[in-house]
Amino acid sequence: MARRGRRVNRGRPVDGIIVVDKVYGASSNEVLQRVKRLFNAAKAGHTGSLDPLATGVLPICLGEATKFSQYLLDSDKSYRTTMKMGARTTTGDREGEIVDERPVTVTRSDVEAILQQFRGEIEQVPSMFSALKHNGRPLYEYAREGIEIERPARTITIHRLELLDFDGDECVFEVDCTKGTYIRTLVEDIGEALGCLGHVAELKRLKAGPYTEHQAYSLDELAAMRDDARDTALNVEERIEFAELSGLADELGRDRMEKSQSERLKELSRARNKAGDRVIDGLLLTQDSAVSDWPQVKLGETSSYYISQGNPVQVPQAPTSGNVRIYGVAEGVEGLVFLGIGEITDDGLVAPKRLIKG
């Protein structure tokens, strides 16, 4: 006989992108799992790990938006970091043990002069304390075991490297860079070039792709907005009733409550949850915001149908190459809607690449 277990809540279908302001110490996966619970989402994914040491912008994709997470992973990033000069650590940041120390005799002018060699296209050896994998294991696991793995240098581009502040043995930089740039490695390399060594004391991501810190919410803010909406969804009498029934459910268990009491508790819970969901759902950014800098094409009803079936279509005045956002006609919806992304074929047609479910 099959074992009867508790019914698993697989979450609700919710689509969009929420920009989280990650706090110090939290892993990207911890943030992802909490967001998934906050939204009671059936599906969620992040857009590339942000170091636990770092704070700031971490976009989380929900539902159909997860189809575009790879493009955010590949996007440019911006950071603000504080470099502590005078010491190198095992991890390249303040959490590691100091392995070498040198006196700090550099001036602001010295720092300004050395930065030029780190702008533009440069070669960088990834940190051992990175999530890059070797034989299926992230490098940081080897590093914690004291094992050094040879890493080939990679080409990255530093679009902007600006010194914001200089105070004795600390420098504050802002960095705009391509994907795969390791700020702790950049800081270590700058410290080595200055001759005084250095490590990351603080790190904040300001921007990931099109998303900025001004669009970000902390997990506590999201939870508070959801809970406030739940609390105000019921009138005073209903709140009292909900508290009494919840207490009874905790005491007896829902299975032992009277059917009318159990049904009423479900009804009040649904009303609360619906109000909470409505508030935080309203904060979600649209799926096409992930590729907002791509050119767009607009399709009529017939072309929309064919592309939804996986067929390339001809679009007048479409770009001649590259990726595009596709907008078209969807059944039961007025106006043009985002259908997904496509690419221009060699013969100039728009071919579907990743389409979303209507």
> Do β-strands 323-328 and 296-298 pair in parallel, antiparallel, or remain unpaired?
parallel
Q: Which residue has the tokens 């790879």?
A: 70
Q: Which residue has the tokens 């079936």?
A: 309
CA distance linking residue 265 with residue 246, whole number of Å: 7
Question: b/e string for 79-104 if b means 16 or more Cβ within 10 A?
Answer: bbbbbbbbbbbbbbbbebeeeeebeb
- Give the DSSP letter of residue 320: S
DSSP 147-175: -------EEEEEEEEEEEEEETTEEEEEE
Q: From residue 169, how far is each of 107, 109, 174 by CA, in Å?
A: 9, 14, 17
Compute the Cα dihedral for 315, 318, 323, 326 and give only its sign: negative
Based on the residue annotation, tell me whether 250 is a catalytic residue of this protein. no
Beta bridge partners of 323: 343
- Are 105 and 113 contacting, i.e. CB atoms less than 8 angstroms apart? no
Q: What residues have CB less than 8 Å from 38, skipping those under 6 apart?
A: 219, 222, 223, 226, 280
Give the angle subtended at the CA of 117 by the CAs of 114 and 121, to the nearest 5°: 155
21, 51, 189, 277: the catalytic one is 51
- Give the DSSP letter of residue 178: -
CA distance linking residue 313 with residue 303, whole number of Å: 6
Residues labelled catalytic: 51
